[in-house]
Structure 1
Amino acid sequence: MRARTSMEAASKPLLHLAPPRGYSPDFLTPAEGTTDSLEAAEAIESTSRVRLRSDMAALGQQQKLPWWAVDLAAGRPAALRGLGTALRRYHRRALHPYWTQITAAVSAELGLRAQSFLVGGTEMLLSTLHPTVHWRAPVLQIAYPRDQDLYLEGRGLRLVPAYFCRGAPIALRDTSLSPVLVYPATRGIASLQPLSPVTGPDALGRLLGRTRAATLFTIARSENATGSEIARQLSISPASASEHATVLRDAGLIQSTRVRNTIHHALTPLGANLLEGRAATTMAAPLPAQTTGCR
């Protein structure tokens, strides 16, 4: 709601292209896949006229399109530049304040997928992807809004964790495109909060203390460490490990993700940068653990 009410006029056409329910044009999900907003906007701006015409026609079957949609469907350069401008402005206004947290959630999810693959191969990776996904080799079944079959025919399947994907995973409408499965990456514990001078320094100030620093270092070494792993490695209580993880998460240094009944912790880019800056001194080795309460 906050993003909608503060949206600039130049970005409002995006509301027609990405409605809250139903079909959104496939070209808004570039096959390249990137978390860089500039690269994503450039990829969308370079969409072929054939793709634009097909996707906009499909969108037109679902809703009445505004006048500018005709120029976009025709691939006119001015319309594509306008779309790119709308995407960049929307990102700057609505997403940039939360981008560190969003990318951290996606990175944590990718780390869990990699961990699942290393432990149990393709079967574990796919069977733990989402509650609505069921892997029954050689078929991946998904609770989908409409009946649809996608045959890979030797092609790979790109898995794309998306922060704002809600409900069940979704696939591209056009089965001739490179197969993509977009699924929710929203199992993070914290809600989106913009970084600000009021909350940022205060949260970072709570990091003082050797045990908390050791907790951050343990999470960095373990990749998706659980609370029990942190408590065991630092010889502290599970409650103390949970408190330290909460402070680190509030400061934006880690991302916490719930998988069934277990919470996994992973570094955010901010946490990684902090550790790299300290690597030569205090973070060169695990710090002595404290057995008392949090500091």
Structure 2
Amino acid sequence: MPYQLHFGQDDLLRCRFAISPLWETQEAVRTLKRPDRHGYHPQWLRRIRGAGARLDLAAVWLLMPRRGHCPDFLGPPPIGPAATFDEEIAAVRATDPEVALDDMARALDCTPGAAASPLGRALVGDPARAVRELADVMEAAWHALIEPDWPRLRTLLEADVAFHSRRLAEVGLGGLLSELDPRLSWNAGTLAVDWNGEHVRDLRGEGLVLMPSVFTWPDVVGGHDPPWQPTIAYPARGLAGLWAGPGERTPEALVRLLGRGRATVLAALGDPATTSALAHRLGLAPSSVSAHLGTLRDAGLLVSRRYGHQVLYERTPLGIALASGGI
């Protein structure tokens, strides 16, 4: 039986997109333990190997069964559309120990022998201490694994939200959900998620958080029991080019046509991005990137769209054709 979420009228008005640095941290920690998740991330894995080896992740990994419940309090739904890591980890530290105890016990029960292990007994034996120590581990993991690359990751995630927000306006929620991932389907007010495990929840006016994720791939993750808002985390668009360097993206024919700088910027825009994110990704001065973006936009190869307080640039059909060698 698939995971099922039943919507009422009010729920349709309370669906939102969000981005979570805490969620990416949690899923990056899980990815270190899951070789089946390594496909898109070999460059990242090589770069963080030393920093990752210095982290003591045993307690977090014990609470991440291969199948079954994972503690919601360690990766709660984002508290806003673009919450900072500091805001999110503060919410983790404020978790009621009794809520954490139940959450951890359910997770430990999903792995044979975990609850009876010394580490498992220590976690449930002093849940207040467990909350503090697990939050410390997650904060250390953020600094070691995610924070150095957060501008790049955030750009990809924001581009996904911008794209799917436009699609929501064009096709509605029912049409959008199956576009997020083929394992999502909508029928008569019910969202079904085709994955292992059974879960049925009536949203009762809480709505749904839709959250693109870099490290969730290849899974679609649905969950969060009360008191947390239901959430679906799905693989973000554009993962194939996430870790590629500028030289790997830029065809030489495009360089000869546009010049190295403008060709590099156009090739890097496989997904929409801001000026500052492109500058960080490409190792160029923001002023240089801004000048290239302006020229490319004036030439009809890019358009700009506002997303919140930021301006995202993306290729036009002509820009796509040039960057892919289609002209």
2:229 counterpart (159, 173, 178) = 178
Q: Distance in 2 between matches of 1:182 and 1:102?
A: 15
C-alpha deviation, 1:164, in angstroms:
1.3
Q: Distance in 2 between matches of 1:249 and 1:17?
A: 43
Question: Per-residue displacement from partner, 1:202-228 (whole Å, max 9, x unpaired)?
Answer: 999x9989947997xxxxxxxxxxxxx
Q: What secondary structure does 1:13 align onto?
A: helix
Q: Which position in structure 2 is the counterpart of 1:159?
A: 210
Q: Which position in structure 2 is the counterpart of 1:61?
A: 109
| CA pair 277-248 structure 1, distance change in 2 beyond 3 A | closer
| CA pair 280-57 structure 1, distance change in 2 beyond 3 A | closer
Q: Distance in 1 between matches of 2:192 and 2:292?
A: 49
Q: Is the 8 A contact 1:10 1:85 kept in 2?
A: no
Q: Is the 8 A contact 2:164 2:176 kept in 1?
A: yes
Residue ranges of structure 2 left out of the alignment (5+ in a row): 1-31, 33-44, 302-317
User: Are residues 1:122 and 2:122 paired?
Assistant: no
Q: Which position in structure 2 is the counterpart of 1:36?
A: 84
C-alpha deviation, 1:45, in angstroms:
1.5
Q: What secondary structure does 1:147 align onto?
A: coil
When the two structures are superposed, what TM-score results if normalisation uses the length of structure 1?
A: 0.66
Q: Percent identity?
A: 20
| CA pair 48-71 structure 1, distance change in 2 beyond 3 A | farther
CA RMSD after TM alignment: 3.9
Question: Per-residue displacement from partner, 1:155-202 (whole Å, max 9, x unpaired)?
Answer: 211111121113442222525532111222254222536xxxxx6799
Q: Distance in 2 between matches of 1:277 and 1:26?
A: 42
Residue ranges of structure 1 left out of the alignment (5+ in a row): 194-198, 216-243, 257-264
Q: Which position in structure 2 is the counterpart of 1:271?
A: 278
Q: Distance in 2 between matches of 1:139 and 1:249?
A: 41
Q: Is the 8 A contact 1:31 1:178 kept in 2?
A: yes
| CA pair 138-35 structure 1, distance change in 2 beyond 3 A | same
Q: 1:1-295 residue pairs with structure 2 within 5 A?
A: 2=45, 3=48, 6-33=52-79, 36-63=84-111, 64-65=114-115, 66-70=117-121, 72-73=123-124, 74-76=126-128, 78-172=129-223, 174-185=225-236, 187-192=238-243, 211=258, 244=263, 247-248=264-265, 254=269, 256=270, 265-268=271-274, 269-271=276-278, 277=287, 286-288=297-299
| Residue correspondences, number | 245
| CA pair 134-214 structure 1, distance change in 2 beyond 3 A | farther
C-alpha deviation, 1:25, in angstroms:
0.9
Q: What secondary structure does 1:160 align onto?
A: strand
| Greater alpha carbon shift after TM alignment, 9-18 vs 129-138 | 9-18
Q: What secondary structure does 2:241 align onto?
A: coil
Q: Which position in structure 2 is the counterpart of 1:196?
A: none
Amino acid at match of 1:29: G
Q: Distance in 1 between matches of 2:158 and 2:108?
A: 35
Q: Distance in 2 between matches of 1:44 and 1:130?
A: 29
Structure having the larger proportion of residues in helix: 2
| CA pair 249-186 structure 1, distance change in 2 beyond 3 A | same
Q: What secondary structure does 1:267 align onto?
A: coil
Q: Is the 8 A contact 1:8 1:90 kept in 2?
A: no
* Larger relative contact order (CA 8 Å, sep ≥ 6): 2
Q: Distance in 1 between matches of 2:105 and 2:152?
A: 35
C-alpha deviation, 1:95, in angstroms:
2.3
Q: What secondary structure does 2:172 align onto?
A: helix
| CA pair 277-17 structure 1, distance change in 2 beyond 3 A | farther
C-alpha deviation, 1:267, in angstroms:
0.8
C-alpha deviation, 1:92, in angstroms:
2.0
C-alpha deviation, 1:43, in angstroms:
1.8
| CA pair 45-201 structure 1, distance change in 2 beyond 3 A | farther
Q: Distance in 2 between matches of 1:125 and 1:89?
A: 36
| CA pair 191-50 structure 1, distance change in 2 beyond 3 A | same
